[in-house]
Every structure is written in C-alpha cells, then in structure tokens.
Amino acid sequence: MEPQYNNKSTAVKRLMREAKELSQPTDEYSAHPLEDNLFEWHFTLRGPQSSDYEGGIYHGRILLPTDYPMKPPNIILLTPNGRWETNKKICLSISSHHPETWQPSWSIRTALLALIAFMPTNSRGSLGALDYTPEERINLAKKSKNWVCDQCGEISHLLAENKAKPLTREETELINSVTFKVKLIFKYSNKILHLI
C-alpha cells in the first residue's frame, strides 16, 4: 500500500517537485526518496576530483523535517569515508545542526553539491568530523565502490556513467553561497572563542 500524503502540504509539493527534478542521476550525484517515505531520501555521490576521495562512491541518507524547506534536513553518510563518521548526523551549514544558516531556497541538490564541496575541506573539529590521513581516505575511496546499502543494494550503478562535466552556473552559485556562509560562521565563532 502506497503512503498517503497531504498534497496541499508545502513540504510534500516541494519534495515531489525535487523528486521529479532529481529522477535522472548525474555523474556526480543521485538522490531519490524511499518508496514508502517521501521524507527520507538516499543519495549517492562521487568523491571530488583531485582530492583524497577521488574515485570513491559514497552513499547516505537525508532525513527531511515535515516543515521542509523552512527547516534544514539531517544528512547522514553510510559509507566509510574518513571525513565524517558514519551513521551520525553531519554538522554542516546545510544541515539541521545550523538552522540559522539554512535558506528555504536551498534544496536536496544544493545539499549534495555542498557535501561534495565540503569533503576535501579541513574538519576544524566540527561535530562528527574525522581527521584520517590521506592514505586512509584514499584506501576507503577504493573500498567504497564495493559498499552495499541495505535498502538500495549495490551503489556503484546509481550514478550516471558519463565523464565528469563542469557544474552549471546555478550549481556553482549555490555552492559559493553555502561555502561563503560557512566561512562567515567560522570567522564569527573563532572571534567568540578568542574573546572567551
């Protein structure tokens, strides 16, 4: 039996639209809601080029609040990666750990692009972050291709087989917007810590 949703709900309308927009995987990421839960999505993304994660394929969950897009999602990586703990909510400006930085114009696609952009950055001791060596991350990237999700099965086929294509202007602007906000947050929090 298919779940029933209130089609007048802003969150349901938005998630249905995003599911349609993301129905075709790209070579960088794919995402889809679970068949029985529109508010839980699984995603797969390719590790960023020229990083310790290059060649890796990473899988995770996005848990969306019932008042999405007014409130941010929880993002959980399931594949061991050496950057974030697995099966824990990731602390990023695009996640529920920082609702003050979330913008309703952002989307699941924005979150995925930002996640890819944040992978090679310094963790700076944030919640759930790991500081593995480059060698350990490279080794995990190799192993990630064989990782299997309990719900989705093998993940390597979930991405399009195209060669990496450049980001669109809109995608680049979204990433720059998110990373700019993160830089401001770190700058502000470092000033506060310095004053304490």
Residues with active-site annotation: 91
Give the SS3 label for residue 9: coil
- CA geometry: angle at 78 spanning 121 and 179, to 5°? 25
**Do residues 108 and 94 make contact, with C-beta atoms less than 8 angstroms apart?**
no
Radius of gyration of the chain (CA): 17
Q: Which of 116, 126, 140 minimizes the C-alpha distance to 49?
A: 116
